[in-house]
Amino acid sequence: MIAEIREALNKIHDIFPSAPRRHKLEGFFWHQGWSDAIDDMCRPEEYGTDLANLIRDVRKDLGTPALPWTVGVSGMGGYRPYTDTQCTGALDVLTDTIIPAQFSVANGITVSAVETRAFHREARFSPGDQCYHWNNNCESYWRVGVAMGESMLELTSRRED
C-alpha cells in the first residue's frame, strides 16, 4: 500500500497534469473491515489496536506524523435487524466488534470515524445482492464518500501547519 501511495504521488502530474508542482498528502481515507469479520486469520477483538497501529505505521512510513485520517465504519449491512440476511454472521461481527473498534480510534483531532450504516440500501433496491459491497448500490458509496469527505474537511480545518 505504501509503495502504491508513493508511486501515485510520484506520478501525480501524469495523472493530473494541471496539479500544482508542489503538493503534499493532506489526508488518508480508510474504509474496510469486511474481510476482518470473516477471515479466520483475523482477530476482530484486536481490530482497534491493529487499526491504531496501522495509522501510526502509515504516518511514519509516509513521513506525516499528524496526517488526518477518516475511517468510514464498516456499515454495509445497516442496523439490526438486518434486512439482507445472507450475511448475518459477518454483520454481527461488524456490529459487535469491528465497528466499535473503528469508532474507538477516533480522537476528533487527527482521526475521525464516520457512521455509515444509514447508507445501506437493501438488495431489493440495489443492482446486486453482495452485502459486503453495499449491494453494489452507487447511492451508498456516494453517501459514504460525502460523509467521509465532510469529516476530513473538519479535521483538516483544525490543523496547524
Domains of the chain and any CATH numbers? 25-158 (3.40.50.1110)
Tens of pLDDT, residue by residue, the chain (161 residues):
999 999 998 899 998 999 887 888 899 999 988 888 888 777 878 899 999 999 999 999 999 999 999 999 999 999 999 988 888 889 999 999 999 999 999 999 999 999 999 999 999 999 999 888 999 999 999 999 999 999 999 999 987 65
Task: Check residue 122 and give its pLDDT.
Answer: 94
Task: Check residue 43 and give its pLDDT.
Answer: 82
Q: Which residues contact 110 (CB under 8 A, 6 or more apart)?
A: 66, 67, 68, 69, 155, 159
The CB-side HSE value for 53 (13 A sphere, CA atoms) comes to 5
Task: Check residue 145 and give its pLDDT.
Answer: 97
- At 28, which helix (H) or strand (E)? strand 28-30
Q: What is the pTM for the complete model shown?
A: 0.91
